[in-house]
Amino acid sequence: MSGTQRLARLSRLVPSGTSTAARAPFVLLVVLILGSGLLALLLLNASVNQGSFKLSKLEKQTEELTDEQQALQQQVDSYSAPGSLEKRARELGLVPGGTPAFLEPDGTVKGKPEPAANDPQQEAR
């Protein structure tokens, strides 16, 4: 095969002129891929924003519940203070106990049991 025959054969394989019909599907495919990619990015961004708003709302709710829990804990601590317990016990009519007595495992009593004395503060009222 000579060089001119080879060149003539190759020139038949290369399309002559510019054909817009062959480029149209490719351009349409590229535009479709880009458009769907942009749409996917938009949906992803919207989803991330929605999650961000929900997270912000939950963080605020957590902060409010933490504040409430701390206030309730302070209230419980104030009721548990010895002075507060004594005051509430006296309001209910309770009096301080006498000397305690203990039972040993063998059934003997250790200490001298005494009944609770009348509360002098109650008698003064």
Q: Residue 20: is its pLDDT beyond 60?
A: no
Residue 94, classified by CB atoms within 10 Å of its CB into exposed (0-12), middle (13-18) or buried (19+), is middle
Reduced to 3 states (helix: H, G, I; strand: E, B; else coil), residue 103 is: strand
- Comparing 33-37, 60-64, 90-94, 121-125, the range with the smallest average pLDDT is 121-125
The per-residue pLDDT for 15 is 64
**Residue 115 CA: distances (Å) to CA of 4, 20, 84, 95, 121:** 132, 113, 24, 11, 17
Q: Residue 105: is its pLDDT beyond 70?
A: yes
- Strand locations in the chain, DSSP E? 102-103, 109-110
The per-residue pLDDT for 2 is 74
- Comparing 7-21, 67-81, 101-115, the range with the smallest average pLDDT is 7-21
The per-residue pLDDT for 97 is 80
Query: How much of the chain exceeds pLDDT 90, in percent?
Result: 46
